[in-house]
Amino acid sequence: MAITLHLGDITADDRAEAIVNAANSSLLRGGGVDGAIHDAAGPALLEECRLIGGCPTGEVRVTGAGRLGARCIIHAVGPVFAGGARGESELLGSCYHAAIEAAAAHGCATVALPAISTGAYGYPLDGAAAVAVGAVDAAMRAHDTVREARFWLFDERAYGAFTVALEALGTTPTRAGAGGASRRAS
Ligand code: ADP
């Protein structure tokens, strides 16, 4: 299994079978990653999200991927950061765990993920990165049909925070070509 880091726009991933979206609890189109995914997927995605009717914080819902090359989109609702004492880290970890579980349930071995909650929802980057890689690593050990988690980081600061978090998991990330870093474990 591998966790790899990529700099740029998650909708440019042409290898992922599932793309995780940082959605809001209405599941209706928002800004940031959500807006970019809706733009790339096309209007059918919003119709499908409307039919689902919402999703609690810390959980995920799965839809088709519209015009995107992936097989499905996993909409994960991260917490709004409110100081850190309102269960934000557990809710963020729960999103990532549920996302990997959903990818496994849908037979997706390669998953692209954004840095959930670190934009409009205000979760501090370093803490969010540690929760994200820790939860994804644990979830992939529990669901070993998911072989690669590809984190897409939108700027160098986010990329740096995830690099540090990956190193803290125990293995020094190695450059994986084309701007990627990865940590591989058996
Ligand atoms: P949230 O509401 O969960 O905070 P945002 O979409 O506002 O979600 O931001 C989450 C993270 O995704 C931020 O770090 C932001 O810089 C980043 N981001 C925004 N657009 C994209 C994109 N197209 N691809 C990858 N990451 C993105």
Mean pLDDT of 48-53: 97
Residue-level length of the chain? 186
Mean pLDDT of 84-92: 98
CA Rg, the chain, in Å? Answer: 15
Q: How far is the CA of 162 from the centre of ligand 1 (A)?
A: 14
Asked if pLDDT for residue 180 goes beyond 60, the answer is: no
Q: Which of 75, 93, 99 is nearest to 149 (CA)?
A: 99
pLDDT at 145: 98
Mean pLDDT of 120-135: 98
d(CA 36, CA 56): 22
State which ligand 1 atom lies nearest to the alpha carbon of 123.
4
Mean pLDDT of 45-62: 98
Q: Which of 29-43, 136-150, 167-181 has the lowest mean pLDDT?
A: 167-181
Q: Which of 9, 14, 34, 126 is catalytic?
A: 34
pLDDT at 181: 60
Instruction: Using a pLDDT cut of 70, give the percent of the chain over it.
Output: 91
Q: How far is the CA of 36 from the centre of ligand 1 (A)?
A: 9
> What does the mean pLDDT of the chain come to?
93
Q: How confident is the model at residue 182 (pLDDT cuts 50, 70, 90)?
A: low
Whether 137 sits among the annotated catalytic residues: the reply is no
pLDDT at 35: 98
Q: How far is the CA of 116 from the centre of ligand 1 (A)?
A: 7
